[in-house]
Amino acid sequence: MPVTWEPATARYRGEDGRFVSRDTVLDFVRQSIEASGDVTKTLAERVSSGQLSSREFLTVFKTEIKDEYIRQYVAGRGGVGSMAQSDWGKLGSMLKEQYAYASEFSKELGNLTEAQIVNRAGMYIESANQAFEAGYRKAITTSGNFSEERWILGDKQHCSWCIENAGRGWVAIGELPPFGSTPCGVRCGCHIA
């Protein structure tokens, strides 16, 4: 979903020039992650059945992680035109961390069942939510129109940290923990508004 962030109004605009709600953008985020999840599920099935080697799996898997993280961060930030050098640096740092985790994961593939591989691969893709939230936090911060944010519970099961953060209500930007840093990770479906 090509959108741009308009700092003056602190809102997203679609290609047709109309405002796009944050919920619409979040729907895109979820659909994109689901599509990448389908790809990684297929990869997991292929490596489990021996159709892909661990090395081949890792190469394709890292590309899928990279593509999803870029889509998510750019969507949160409000389009490629909104990206500053610091955004690309932040994204690169996030990817470096995910690549290290993925490399360790690939070493364990031979000891995991197909279901375990599918589950873990899905978690890596779902972690791209944190890229969207980082991009969005940067967009609202640089717009100058916001000074507060709040934790919104998602539609899945939550850990006590998510519930506690949601209970705080509106707080100054930066007081909430980075998205994905709670014990439940990114599988709760929460977001920051």
Least confident of 62-71, 80-89, 146-155, 178-187: 178-187
| 3-state SS class at 186 | coil
User: What pLDDT score was predicted for residue 95?
Assistant: 97
Q: How many CA atoms are closer than 13 Å to the CA of 83, on its beta-carbon side?
A: 19
* pLDDT tens sequence across 54-73: 999 999 999 999 999 999 99
| 3-state SS class at 148 | strand
Residue 178 is given by DSSP the state P
Those residues whose C-beta lies under 8 Å from the C-beta of residue 166, and which sit 6 or more positions away, are 150, 151, 152, 153, 158, 190
| Alpha helices, DSSP H, located in 78-128 | 85-108, 114-126
Give 80: exposed, middle or buried? Use CB within 10 Å, 0-12, 13-18, 19+.
Answer: exposed
Which residue in 112, 103, 122, 123 sits closest to 55, CA to CA?
Answer: 103
Least confident of 67-71, 157-161, 183-187: 183-187
* pLDDT tens sequence across 91-113: 999 999 999 999 999 999 999 99
User: What pLDDT score was predicted for residue 1?
Assistant: 62
State which H helix or E strand residue 165 sits in: helix 160-167
Predicted TM-score of the model (pTM): 0.88
| 3-state SS class at 14 | strand
Q: What's the rounded Cα separation, in Å, for the pair 103 and 99?
A: 6
Contact 109, 117 (CB under 8 A): yes
pLDDT of 127 strictly over 70: yes
